Amino acid sequence: DQQVKQNSPSLSVQEGRISILNCDYTNSMFDYFLWYKKYPAEGPTFLISISSIKDKNEDGRFTVFLNKSAKHLSLHIVPSQPGDSAVYFCANDMRFGAGTRLTVKP
């Protein structure tokens, strides 16, 4: 069964530092992984994706790394800003992780 797991429910970092959010998966059935960000009282919004043929995708302050052998991906945010405080979900097609709540302190 396809699963996406985010084992860290929360992360707190200082403004300007790097935030690293992790995601593990089993039995990937689809070739794309996506990260979504969710603010309170809103639906998730797309942030960045990566194809399984790549090991890195960068978009401004956001970079996603994919390690297929370890079935692991991570989202790096550098530098972190207070406005990045949100819940981040990793997804593979229609399967989502439980999310990691990021808090960026000023």
Residues forming contacts to another protein in the complex (CB under 8 A) are 4, 6, 9, 30-32, 34, 36, 41-46, 49, 51, 89, 91, 93-99
Closer of 4 and 77 to another protein (Cβ): 4
What's the CA gap between 92 and 103, in Å, rounded? 24
Dmax (CA) for the chain in angstroms is: 41
Tokens of 25: 């998966």
Q: Name the 3-class secondary structure at 47.
A: strand
Q: Least distance from C-beta 83 to another protein, angstroms?
A: 19
| End-to-end Cα spacing for the chain | 41
Nearer to another protein, 79 or 96 (CB): 96
Least distance from C-beta 89 to another protein, angstroms?
Answer: 5
* Least distance in angstroms from the C-beta of 48 to another protein: 10
Q: Which is nearer to another protein, 6 or 19 (CB)?
A: 6
Nearest to 19 by CA among 70, 82, 66: 82
